[in-house]
Structure 1
Amino acid sequence: MPEAWWETLALIRTLWIDPRWVAAVLALLVALSAIWLAVRLRTRLRVLEERLRELRHDQQETDTALLALHGAIKAVAEDVIDQSQHQSSVKRALDRLADQQSELRLRSVDEGLYVQAIELIRLGRGRSEVRTLCGLTHAEVDLLFSLHGASVVRERSSGSR
């Protein structure tokens, strides 16, 4: 065998590492990796715990805000109901007033017509003329003449004496 061959073989033997040393180095590397991973996990756990505390605090604030909002909505709803009831009450009152106003308007028109008809009767106008001018029915004119026509006849007869 050539000499180079023996030199190569000697070099291989010097590089040859005992398997126990390899196992020890590997064990050391695994242990260091485990420690590094544990430290990293511990740091990540602390960050997550802090984030969880923040989220719980935010949730409490949100719950408080929701309760306040619920109370405000309830108050607004009660106000809306009260306003609706008040509006209904005012509408009923306005309807009653409108009805009363219509009745009064009709009465004043009717009373005005009756007053006008009575005045025409006192002036000696005839039934058809009173009915036409005042827009009254035959029955209304007859009633007015029966009530007020007799006094006109008496006034004329007493005035002519």
Structure 2
Amino acid sequence: MSAESIVDKLPFEPLWIAFCVLFLVLLIGMLLVVRVLRSNRRLRSQLKEVRSEQQRQSTSLLALHGAMKVIAEDVIKHGQLQSNVSRTLERLSDQQSELRLRDVEEGLYSQAIALVHQGKRRDEVRKLCALTESEVDLLFSLHGQGGESQPWG
């Protein structure tokens, strides 16, 4: 059988043509529905993955926020501690300076008293110990001997 004989035997009635066209339309429609359903399934899967990733990122973001809050609190505490240490160091430095001055003054007074006991004159004690006249007068009045406790002159 040739192609022409097959075509001659096919009925070309309008109903038959309508049926064939309808069959083709339904077949194409079904193929489109299958394709749409596959695309829909793939998109739902992708959406699920995106939501899962968003949830992970939200959790990570909350953890980072908490960590930053802890770090900020630690920085504030560290700043306060550093400020306290600075104030303590400043206070200790002031106390050390006072003690040095006191030691120097006490050392000078001890030296001046020793000079008075050795019988040194007022002007020598004043020059050697860098004291004022009032300080020398006080030392001689407290620690001086006899005539050496006389005021200047």
TM band (smaller chain): 0.7 to 0.9
Aligned to 1:109: 104
Q: Once the two structures are superposed, what CA deviation does each residue of 1:83-130 show, in whole Å capped at 9, x if it has no partner?
A: 211221122111111111110110000000010011111111122211
Query: How far apart in 2 are the matches of 1:126 and 1:27?
Result: 140
Identity %: 55
Whether 1:61 and 2:56 are equivalent positions in the alignment is yes
Tell me how far apart the structure 2 counterparts of residues 109 and 92 of structure 1 sit (CA, whole Å): 26
> Following TM superposition, where does structure 1 have runs of at least 4 consecutive aligned residues deviating by more than 6 angstroms?
none
The amino acid across from 2:140 in the alignment is F
Partner of residue 26, structure 1? 21
Shift in Å, 1:19:
5.5
Q: TM-score, normalised by structure 2?
A: 0.79
Aligned length: 141
Once the 2 structures are TM-superposed, how far is the Cα of residue 27 of structure 1 from its aligned partner? 3.1
State the partner residue of 1:35: 30
Residue 142 of structure 2 corresponds to 147
- Where in structure 2 are the equivalents of 1:122-141 lying within 5 Å? 122-141=117-136
Once the two structures are overlaid, the 10-residue window that deviates more, 115-124 or 27-36, is: 27-36
**Superposition TM-score, scaled by structure 1 size:** 0.76
Structure exhibiting the larger radius of gyration computed from Cα positions? 1
> Relative to structure 2, which stretch is displaced further, 38-47 or 80-89?
80-89
1:48: Cα distance to partner? 0.6
Structure 2 Cα separation of the partners of residues 50 and 74 of structure 1:
36
| TM-aligned CA deviation for residue 132 of structure 1 | 1.5
CA distance in 1, matches of 2:66, 2:83: 26
- C-alpha displacement of 1:21: 4.8
Q: Which moved more, 1:131-140 or 1:114-123?
A: 131-140
- SS in structure 2 at match of 1:125: coil
Gaps of 5+ in 2: 1-8, 149-153
In angstroms, what is the RMSD of aligned CA positions? 2.6
